[in-house]
């Protein structure tokens, strides 16, 4: 999701193109057809085109499409298997971008299914998210699915629900903390998770994230734990922070960290402050960082 947020930044118009037949558009290498042989009551057959179900089919198809659009990937095109997303900042620009994509598909004998394509729209659903000029939102169909959830009756059902919720963790403030009781099998609190998934996602922050401390980190002093949170966040949202044209501010409820400043921020974020932390920012990359105390 972080990568999609980064590449779609500033885009206001989208198109979604769906392949017709996808894997079936690719010819099996001549001489290798026997490797796909199968038997039916009507006789034995071999595929002439790449069928669905082959272990390497997804990776092969993805590589071929990536090669076709190599120079414009993440510039104004994103490809995920049989779907192509085209994104632009203006109508005129988008017309050119879509024309380029369709021309390359035609040149490579790849066909699309018109009934499943969307062209020149202000928002588009893909990979469980709604993308628009306003940013990223949860797919409304998924929100409705959450509202219809029933409390899980066994461990397997709970794991399924937590897996679904984890996919949308970026929309939930303090996600790890809020689901900690669920991971210890206290199922009666499940309705509260259903509520927070819907209510927190309706706010307007860019994204949320959280994680548990590993055993070694649990031994840190309180000051270092708070500082670790800042370092981790700087690395996680590095692409966005480096793209800012103005200084940014870190809000913390630990009063001593309000003296965290530009040079100190770059120093710790390069991995020199806390044990076990790898590099993230370099001195020349750092935007100006300031901190402010916010009672928590």
Mean pLDDT rounded to a whole number for the chain: 76
In this model, does residue 202 exceed pLDDT 60?
Answer: no
pTM of the model: 0.60
Reported confidence tier of residue 41, pLDDT bands at 50, 70, 90: very high
Q: How far is CA 228 from CA 25, 171, 203, 251, 296, in A?
A: 49, 21, 26, 14, 17
In this model, does residue 69 exceed pLDDT 70?
Answer: yes
Q: Which of 73-82, 146-155, 185-194 has the lowest mean pLDDT?
A: 185-194
> 69-106 in b/e burial notation, b at 16+ Cβ within 10 A?
beeeeeebbbbeebbbbbbbeeeeebeebbeebbeebe
Q: Which of 209, 257, 15, 14 is nearest to 114 (CA)?
A: 15
Domains in the chain: boundaries: 2-136, 140-200, 215-293
| pLDDT given at position 275 | 42
| Separation of alpha carbons 266 and 280, rounded Å | 9
| Separation of alpha carbons 55 and 58, rounded Å | 7
| pLDDT given at position 230 | 78
Per-residue model confidence as pLDDT tens digits over 128-183: 788 887 777 777 777 777 777 777 777 787 777 777 777 777 777 777 777 766 65
What radius of gyration, in Å, describes the C-alpha atoms of the chain? 24
| pLDDT given at position 11 | 84
With contact defined as beta carbons under 8 Å apart, do 83 and 112 qualify? Answer: no
| Separation of alpha carbons 43 and 45, rounded Å | 7
Q: Which of 66-75, 85-94, 169-178, 186-195 has the lowest mean pLDDT?
A: 186-195
Q: Across residues 109-127, what is the average pLDDT?
A: 89
Per-residue model confidence as pLDDT tens digits over 95-114: 999 999 999 999 999 999 99
| pLDDT given at position 215 | 85
In this model, does residue 39 exceed pLDDT 60?
Answer: yes
Q: Which two tokens stand for residue 220?
A: 């840190």
Reported confidence tier of residue 77, pLDDT bands at 50, 70, 90: very high
In CATH, what number does 2-136 get?
3.30.70.270
């Amino acid at each position: 999701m972080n990568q999609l947020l980064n590449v779609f930044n500033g885009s206001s118009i989208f198109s979604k193109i769906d392949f017709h037949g996808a894997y079936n558009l690719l010819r099996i290498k001549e001489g290798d057809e026997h490797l796909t042989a199968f038997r039916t009551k009507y006789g034995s057959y071999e595929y002439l085109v790449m069928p669905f179900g082959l272990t390497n089919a997804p990776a092969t198809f993805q590589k071929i499409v990536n090669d076709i659009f190599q120079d414009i990937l993440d510039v104004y095109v994103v490809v995920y298997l049989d779907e192509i997303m085209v994104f632009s900042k203006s109508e005129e620009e988008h017309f050119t971008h879509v024309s380029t994509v369709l021309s390359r598909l035609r040149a490579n004998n790849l066909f699309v299914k018109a009934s499943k394509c969307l062209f020149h729209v202000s928002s588009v659903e893909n990979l469980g998210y709604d993308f628009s000029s306003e940013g990223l939102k949860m797919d409304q169909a998924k929100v409705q699915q959450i509202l219809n959830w029933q409390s899980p009756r066994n461990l397997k059902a709970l794991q399924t629900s937590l897996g679904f919720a984890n996919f949308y963790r970026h929309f939930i403030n303090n996600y790890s903390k809020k689901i900690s009781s669920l991971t210890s099998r206290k199922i009666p609190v499940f309705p509260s998770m259903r509520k927070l998934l819907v209510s927190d996602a309706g706010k307007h922050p860019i994204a949320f994230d959280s994680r548990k401390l590993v055993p070694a980190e649990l031994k840190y002093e309180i000051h270092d734990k708070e500082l670790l949170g800042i370092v981790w966040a700087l690395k996680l949202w590095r692409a966005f922070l480096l793209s800012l044209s103005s200084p940014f501010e870190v809000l913390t409820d630990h009063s001593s960290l309000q003296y965290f400043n530009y040079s100190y921020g770059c120093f710790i974020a390069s991995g020199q402050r806390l044990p076990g932390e790898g590099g993230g920012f370099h001195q020349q990359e750092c935007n100006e960082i300031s901190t402010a105390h916010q009672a928590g």
